[in-house]
Amino acid sequence: MRLENKVILITGSATGIGCAIARRCVAEGARVVIHGLEADLAAAVVAELGADKAVSHIEDLNAEGCPQRLVEVAVKSFGRLDAVVNNAAMVGQGNIHTTTADFFSKMLHVNAVVPFLLIQAALPELRKVRGCALNIGSVNAWCGEPNLLPYSVSKGALMTLTRNLGDTLMQEDGVRVNQINPGWVLTENEAKRKREHGLHETWYQDLPKIYAPAGRILWPEEIAAAAVYWLADESGPISGQVMDLEQHPFIGRNPPKDTSTIPAPAKL
C-alpha cells in the first residue's frame, strides 16, 4: 500500500474533499486525524474508518493554539506525524464593491495564514521523518471569478506559500510542500449552496459543456486519488509544485460566444 504506516493530519475532513482524502489514505494503509467543526460528522467518519485507524479533533482553526493541539493529537494517538493536508477553507462571495476589510482579512487568515501556522506547528515532527505538507487550493488562485475576489486572492496567497515553503523546507529540513488546485467539485457543501441559490436537486446532471466538457463535474474521490501521489514516497523529492485538477484549461480558455444565459459556477 502506498501510505503504509504513515500518519496524516487532514483539516476539514469531516465532509467533502477532506473526508474523501481521509478515506483514501486509510485505504492506502495510513492512520488519520479527522478534523472539523461538526462533532457528529467527524464521529461518523471515525466509526467508518475504525478507531484503530482514525481519531478526531473538533476545534475552530482560528482558535489560538489549535494547530499545535492538532499536531499533539496525532503524536499522542499514533506516535508520529508524516504529513499535513491543509484542506479546510472558508468559501464566500464578494467583489470589489461588496467586500469589507474585515471579511477580506478573515478569508486571508483562514485560507492562507492558518495553513502556514499548521505547517509551522507540524515542522518538528515532519522533519523527523522527512514528511510533507499538501495544500488544497483552487483553480481560482490564478485569477478567480469577479464575485469570488477575496476567496481567489486567499488561494493565490496559499499558492505562493506553497512555492516558498516548498523550496525553503526541502533545502533546510527535507520536508516537501506541494499543492493541488481543484476545479469544480461536487461536494456536499457545493450541492447545498446550489440549492440555496434556487437550483433544482439534479442541477449537476445538466451542465453547459463550457463548464463540464465531460458532462459532469469532479467527484471528491477523484481529488483524493490525486492527493495520494503527493503524500506518498513515490513523489520523491518533488517540492514547491502546484497542480491544477480540472477537466479543461482554466487559463486562456476560449469563452463561449454567448455567456448571457450561462450561470457561473462557484468553484472550490
Query: In which residue are the cell numbers 471515525 written?
Result: 46
DSSP classification of residue 37: S
Q: Give the residue ranges of DSSP H helices in 52-178.
A: 66-78, 101-108, 114-129, 149-173
The residues that are catalytic are 151
> If you write DSSP's letter for every residue of 185-250 in order, what string do you get?
B--HHHHHHHHHTT--TTGGGS--TTT-TTSS-B-HHHHHHHHHHHHSGGGTT--S-EEEE-SS-S
* Numbers of helices and strands, H then E, in the chain: 8, 7
Residue 24, all three cell numbers: 483514501
Query: In which residue are the cell numbers 466538457 written?
Result: 213
d(CA 15, CA 86): 14
Question: Which residue in 225, 220, 223, 213 sits closest to 244, CA to CA?
Answer: 223
d(CA 58, CA 37): 5
Residue 133, all three cell numbers: 505538507
d(CA 254, CA 252): 6
Cβ neighbours of residue 32 under 8 Å, at least 6 residues apart?
A: 7, 8, 9, 10, 13, 22, 25, 26, 49, 53, 54, 55
Pair 39, 66: CB distance under 8 Å: no
